[in-house]
Chains A and B, each alone.
Chain A
Amino acid sequence: MGWNSRLKMPNPGLDQRVLSHAQLEKLEVEEAGERPKWDNKAQYMLTCVGFCVGLGNVWRFPYLCQSHGGGAFMIPFLILLVLEGIPLLHLEFAIGQRLRRGSIGVWSSINPYMLGVGIASMCVSLLVSLYYNTIIAWVLWYFFNSFQEPLPWSQCPVNVNRTGLEWECESSSPVDYFWYRNTLNITSAIDEPGGLQWWMVLCLISAWAVLYVCCIRGIETTGKAVYVTSTLPYVVLTIFLIRGLTLKGSISGIKFLFTPDLDELSNPATWLDAGAQVFYSFSLAFGGLISFSSYNSVHNNCEQDAVIISIINAFTSIFAATVIYTIIGFRATQRYDDCLAGNILTLINMFDLPEKSIDDSNYASSLSHLNSTYPAIISNLQLKTCNLNTFLTEGVEGTGLAFIVFTEAITKMPLAPLWSVLFFIMLFCLGLSSMFGNIEGVLVPLQDLKVFPKSWSKEAISGVTCLVCCCIGLIFVQGSGNYWLALFDSFAGSIPLLITGFCEMVGVVYVYGIDRFNEDLKFMIGHKPNIFWQSTWRVISPLIMLVIFLFYFATTISKELFYISWDPESVTFPTLKQKPYPVWIYIIIFLLAGVPSLAVPGAALFRAIWKRYC
């Protein structure tokens, strides 16, 4: 109606490319069509929840929450969830359900010139699948190593002469050593490949094998697997919450997480980080959600699904953050107590004072008394400063959280192997259920693009895809693999997604036509979408996406790019050293971020030229 109808772009031939409502109805009634279907609604919901809820909810959100003003971060997060996340989710579900195709099929149906959006989604899904499964391989390695007492990362190994502990371990910590040396066997720079690490190759193969067995027949097998992979993380999180709350110091962790600092709300970075987190957390623009939704019955209530899944995703983020921070609070308190005990021991040894004469409560007063009486001796002792807040803010994001901080906390808990096994099973399930969506976003476009011969069965197609991805993924299991992974994570999974997400909204609202879309929704769910959906789809959400994209683009282009490396020979060891990227990496960065992004206009241009000259 009104001004928006005139804003619609001309789109000839749309009726020939999409099924009409009557045809859809017929398809529905006769259950015709080769398309796979969900066995029941629960499978669909669990698959979508599993795809959305991933490792980011556990190791990115808590860090953002704590660093951007604790409880106050909920405000921008929830606002942007409602204004950006839910509308985009509803849009993807509705368009998939209506057009009943995967991402390439959907965008080429809407307009053949929009094929590039589908190709961009496929490229991003492929690049993300490659490195995401490597993270799952790391999780599997830790899982395999959890079946021993004591845990291998709880103590330093003895050096070759058996005279002392391994130097690299002693100067850092057993958990750091196990992660950087025993797991990654990391080199000190990205241009030192370091060779393939055979144990990680085995773990990578097992990660891809497990993925293959779950995706072998598409949603027929995935739908069964999600009963476990989507529900188990919640069970484990609950167990950890109960365990965590009974540990000393957990409450200080939760307080630290949620203490609101309302000043952070005036910082634009808070809002941008919240927006980005909402966008990436929902796994939008990967194409997987469109694909999953297309297997639904035509009259499925996608509006309700979108709202429910958004609420579940937000709840999971907050729940996981609470659990993580009870454990982090425990670890920080342990470290603080150890630090204090070390200082107290030094003092009583030096002055031959009786044990327990200095304890936690009178440490400060005793120290100041001794300092005033013997200042020279005290300064020679080089006592460490023990600050609880420092320990609480240490390395609590990403792989550092899971493989260093959390594993250290687990070693201090009784029955450590049990908690370790539970934790890594949870991470494995979270990662695997997200991989289902990523792989769906790769397999279905490949089939739509007819890359494989028609005679090949589903099993063969998924097998070949997994095999090829596994072979390419060997980049990430060499010595410098972690640096490559960080590179892929920063550039392949960020800017192209924002561009694709923006184009999706614009494509549906202005190319497909919001009026037609409203009519479709009325046909599918029985009522026209209300003013909230109209305003967010037409104006608010695309605007938010555009602002986030511009900001990210500007910051990435303007700053010098560097990475942090583990360099035992550096002066600042064990602190990670910042190194600039070598020049040839910039080409790789351009390929990672540029190729999917440029596929959007590129495919349109290619088609225009092809049409003109053929």
Chain B
Amino acid sequence: MRCVWMVCVLCLAPAVAAILCKPDVTDGYKVRLSIKTALGDDAYEWSKSELFLFRAVLAFAVQRKTNNVNYDVSNILVCDETERVSFWFVVTTPDNTSELLPKLVVENAIRENRHRINSAFLLTDQTLDFVGINPTLAAPIEYDTPPWLIVFGVVMGVVCAGIVALLVSTFLQKKRAKKPSADPVDDEDGSGSIAGNGILCESIGDKDGTYNQGFTDDDRFTKL
């Protein structure tokens, strides 16, 4: 009698499981894996062992979330597998295998352990897609000083140093030029400008572009 009862239960169990997990179930999620996109030539084949790993990782995630209540691989039910490598899964409670864990608990468990789940399969948030669970965005990188200000500071420092250096060198040049001012030899050698009586000819009368250089030759030798 007991044997018959056990056989009946065993036969019913997969049927019960089948009813619990089905496409578009309220407390379950659809998962899509894009292994070939993520790994290219290093892609592994999706097999029963991979599915087992998935169930194990998910059990781990839920166990972690529910403060170490003992979940087993058998608590994760999978159905509707396709060639795409997509399937639906639901999570049953360990105490009562016909009761499903609420959607929100499952979602939070996956969110908190997303990184671990991704790493187990060498995939990313985009290639291991839990349909309906959007990946939390990475925190934006906060800099103490924006990098551009640092580069700006460096460039401006160099430029200002250059300006100061050039202005100082001009100032020193002028000082040095002023020193031998009474030396009569300078004019003869010609510092490049023609001067008569110490007045540069170019500065005299340049109205309307009229430039009469008729006197320049004479003034070179007229030093009073």
Interface of A toward B, CB cutoff 8 Å: 13, 16-17, 19, 23, 30-34, 101, 105, 108-109, 112, 140-141, 143-145, 147-148, 157-158, 162, 164-165, 199, 202-203, 205-206, 209-210, 212-213, 216-217, 221, 345, 348-349, 352-356, 454, 457, 459
Contact yes or no, A209 B156, CB < 8 A: yes
Contact yes or no, A221 B36, CB < 8 A: no
B34 proximity list for chain A (CB < 8 A): 345, 355
| A297 vs B161: C-alpha distance when bound (angstroms) | 34
| A147 vs B170: C-alpha distance when bound (angstroms) | 35
| A164 vs B190: C-alpha distance when bound (angstroms) | 76
Contact yes or no, A213 B152, CB < 8 A: no
Contact yes or no, A213 B192, CB < 8 A: no
Q: Is B68 an interface residue (CB 8 A)?
A: no
Task: Give residues of chain B (178-210) contacting chain A, Cβ–Cβ below 8 Å.
Answer: 190, 192-194, 200, 202-203, 208-210
B85 proximity list for chain A (CB < 8 A): 354-355
B212 proximity list for chain A (CB < 8 A): 16
**Chain A to chain B contacts (Cβ below 8 Å), 21 pairs:** A16-B211, A17-B208, A19-B213, A32-B193, A33-B202, A105-B209, A109-B209, A141-B148, A147-B150, A158-B139, A158-B140, A203-B152, A206-B152, A209-B163, A210-B159, A349-B32, A352-B83, A354-B83, A355-B36, A355-B37, A457-B170
B9 proximity list for chain A (CB < 8 A): none
Contact yes or no, B192 A31, CB < 8 A: yes
| A459 vs B166: C-alpha distance when bound (angstroms) | 9
| A464 vs B84: C-alpha distance when bound (angstroms) | 70
Q: Is B86 an interface residue (CB 8 A)?
A: yes
B170 proximity list for chain A (CB < 8 A): 217, 457, 459
Contact of B84 among A13, A158, A203, A354 (CB under 8 A): A354
Contact yes or no, A23 B213, CB < 8 A: yes
For the complex formed, measure the closest distance between the CB of A389 and the CB atoms of chain B, giving whole angstroms. Answer: 27
Contacts A34-B192, A158-B140 given; indicate if A17 touches B209 (C-beta within 8 A).
Answer: yes
| CB nearest neighbor in A for B163 | A213
| A105 vs B192: C-alpha distance when bound (angstroms) | 21
| A349 vs B34: C-alpha distance when bound (angstroms) | 10
Q: Is B160 an interface residue (CB 8 A)?
A: yes
For the complex formed, measure the closest distance between the CB of A30 and the CB atoms of chain B, giving whole angstroms. Answer: 7
> Besides the contacts A13-B210, A141-B148, what 12 more A-B pairs have beta carbons closer than 8 Å?
A30-B190, A31-B192, A32-B193, A109-B209, A112-B209, A143-B151, A144-B155, A162-B137, A164-B137, A199-B148, A209-B156, A355-B37
Contacts A206-B155, A210-B159 given; indicate if A32 touches B166 (C-beta within 8 A).
Answer: no
Contacts A353-B83, A457-B170 given; indicate if A209 touches B151 (C-beta within 8 A).
Answer: no
B132 proximity list for chain A (CB < 8 A): none
Contact yes or no, B156 A158, CB < 8 A: no
Interface string of B131-144 (1 = CB under 8 A from A): 00000010110000
Contact yes or no, B163 A34, CB < 8 A: no
Q: Is B91 an interface residue (CB 8 A)?
A: no
| CB nearest neighbor in B for A209 | B159
For the complex formed, measure the closest distance between the CB of A425 and the CB atoms of chain B, giving whole angstroms. Answer: 11
Contact yes or no, B209 A108, CB < 8 A: yes
Contact yes or no, A32 B137, CB < 8 A: no
A457 proximity list for chain B (CB < 8 A): 170
A355 proximity list for chain B (CB < 8 A): 34-37, 84-85
| A543 vs B149: C-alpha distance when bound (angstroms) | 52
B51 proximity list for chain A (CB < 8 A): none
Contact yes or no, B192 A459, CB < 8 A: no
Contact yes or no, B140 A157, CB < 8 A: yes
For the complex formed, measure the closest distance between the CB of B39 and the CB atoms of chain A, giving whole angstroms. Answer: 11
Contact yes or no, B210 A145, CB < 8 A: no
| A425 vs B90: C-alpha distance when bound (angstroms) | 57
Q: Is B167 an interface residue (CB 8 A)?
A: yes
Contact yes or no, B84 A348, CB < 8 A: yes
| A203 vs B146: C-alpha distance when bound (angstroms) | 14
Contact of A206 among B37, B159, B162 (CB under 8 A): B159
Contact yes or no, A32 B192, CB < 8 A: yes
B151 proximity list for chain A (CB < 8 A): 143-144, 147
Contact of B82 among A216, A221, A352 (CB under 8 A): A352
Contacts A213-B159, A354-B83 given; indicate if A34 touches B193 (C-beta within 8 A).
Answer: yes
Interface string of B80-100 (1 = CB under 8 A from A): 001111100000000000000
Max chain B C-beta neighbours (<10 A), residue from A143, A147, A210, A213: A213
B32 proximity list for chain A (CB < 8 A): 349
Contact yes or no, B36 A17, CB < 8 A: no
B14 proximity list for chain A (CB < 8 A): none
| A352 vs B208: C-alpha distance when bound (angstroms) | 87
| CB nearest neighbor in A for B87 | A352
| CB nearest neighbor in A for B84 | A352
Contact yes or no, A353 B84, CB < 8 A: yes
A205 proximity list for chain B (CB < 8 A): 156
B139 proximity list for chain A (CB < 8 A): 158, 162
| A206 vs B157: C-alpha distance when bound (angstroms) | 10
For the complex formed, measure the closest distance between the CB of A510 and the CB atoms of chain B, giving whole angstroms. Answer: 19
Max chain A C-beta neighbours (<10 A), residue from B139, B148, B194, B211: B148
Max chain B C-beta neighbours (<10 A), residue from A34, A141, A205: A34
| CB nearest neighbor in B for A202 | B152
Contact of B152 among A30, A144, A157, A164 (CB under 8 A): A144
Max chain A C-beta neighbours (<10 A), residue from B152, B166, B202: B152
Contact yes or no, B155 A17, CB < 8 A: no
For the complex formed, measure the closest distance between the CB of B211 and the CB atoms of chain A, giving whole angstroms. Answer: 7
| A19 vs B211: C-alpha distance when bound (angstroms) | 8
For the complex formed, measure the closest distance between the CB of B140 and the CB atoms of chain A, giving whole angstroms. Answer: 5
| A457 vs B169: C-alpha distance when bound (angstroms) | 13
Contact of A221 among B83, B152, B159, B166 (CB under 8 A): B166
| A481 vs B188: C-alpha distance when bound (angstroms) | 57
For the complex formed, measure the closest distance between the CB of A228 and the CB atoms of chain B, giving whole angstroms. Answer: 13
| A158 vs B160: C-alpha distance when bound (angstroms) | 37
A147 proximity list for chain B (CB < 8 A): 147-148, 150-151
Contact of A356 among B36, B155, B190 (CB under 8 A): B36
| CB nearest neighbor in B for A203 | B152
| A352 vs B203: C-alpha distance when bound (angstroms) | 89
For the complex formed, measure the closest distance between the CB of B51 and the CB atoms of chain A, giving whole angstroms. Answer: 16
Contact of B137 among A31, A158, A202, A345 (CB under 8 A): A158
A354 proximity list for chain B (CB < 8 A): 83-85
For the complex formed, measure the closest distance between the CB of B5 and the CB atoms of chain A, giving whole angstroms. Answer: 39
Contact yes or no, A32 B194, CB < 8 A: yes
| CB nearest neighbor in B for A105 | B209
A202 proximity list for chain B (CB < 8 A): 152
B167 proximity list for chain A (CB < 8 A): 216, 459
For the complex formed, measure the closest distance between the CB of A222 and the CB atoms of chain B, giving whole angstroms. Answer: 12
Contact yes or no, B147 A216, CB < 8 A: no
For the complex formed, measure the closest distance between the CB of B38 and the CB atoms of chain A, giving whole angstroms. Answer: 10
